[in-house]
Amino acid sequence: MKRKKKKEEGQTLRLVFVFFVLVGLLLVGSVLVKLATVIEKSRFDGAHRFTVEFTSKDKPFTKVVSFAPDTRSISIITVQNAAAIPQISKFLGIPIDTRVRLNNRYNEDIPRQLKTMLFYFNNFETDLTFIDLSYFLLAFS
C-alpha cells in the first residue's frame, strides 16, 4: 500500500509569495532598464547651449530657439517662409541640436509650448525625451 504524503500547510502560500516577489522584481527591473535608456537618449545636459528648431505643419515660418542654461536665457530667431530654405542650420550658421515638428497646437509663447509638449508628448514629432523637456521646464520656467 502506498502512503499518501501529507502536504505541508503553508507550502502553497509560500509558492504564491515567491511568485509575486519574482514578478515584482521583473517589473522593477524593466522600469529601471527603460529609465536608463531614456536617460541615455537624453541630449540636454543642463550645462551647454541647446538649440531646437520648431516647425509647424500649418504655419509658414520656423523658429530656432537656443537655450543657454548658464545665463538662464532663451534666444529666438523667427525665419519667415522657411519652407524655401532647405537647411536652416546652414543658412543661419547655427548648429541645430534637434528638431521639433509641431501639430495644430502650435503656440507663440515658447515656455507655454514646452509645457504643452510635456503634457501632449506623443503628439509631436521629435527626438527629444520626456527628461529633456522636464529639464527645459525646470531650467527656464
pLDDT tens, residue by residue, 14-68: 889 999 999 999 999 999 999 999 888 887 777 788 888 888 777 777 888 888 8
Mean pLDDT of 1-13: 66
Q: Looking at the whole model, is its pTM more than 0.75? A: no
* Per-residue model confidence (pLDDT) at position 17: 92
Highest mean pLDDT among 9-23, 72-86, 122-136: 9-23
* Per-residue model confidence (pLDDT) at position 135: 80
Cα–Cα distance measured from residue 39 to residue 35, given in angstroms and rounded to the nearest whole number:
6
Grid coordinates standing for 100? 521639433
Cα–Cα distance measured from residue 28 to residue 22, given in angstroms and rounded to the nearest whole number:
10
* Per-residue model confidence (pLDDT) at position 42: 82
Mean pLDDT of 73-98: 80
DSSP 118: H
* Per-residue model confidence (pLDDT) at position 11: 80
Percent of the chain with pLDDT over 90: 14
Q: pLDDT digit string (tens) for 102-123?
A: 776 555 667 677 777 777 777 7
Distance set, CA 76 to CA 10, 34, 53, 112 (Å): 67, 33, 10, 14
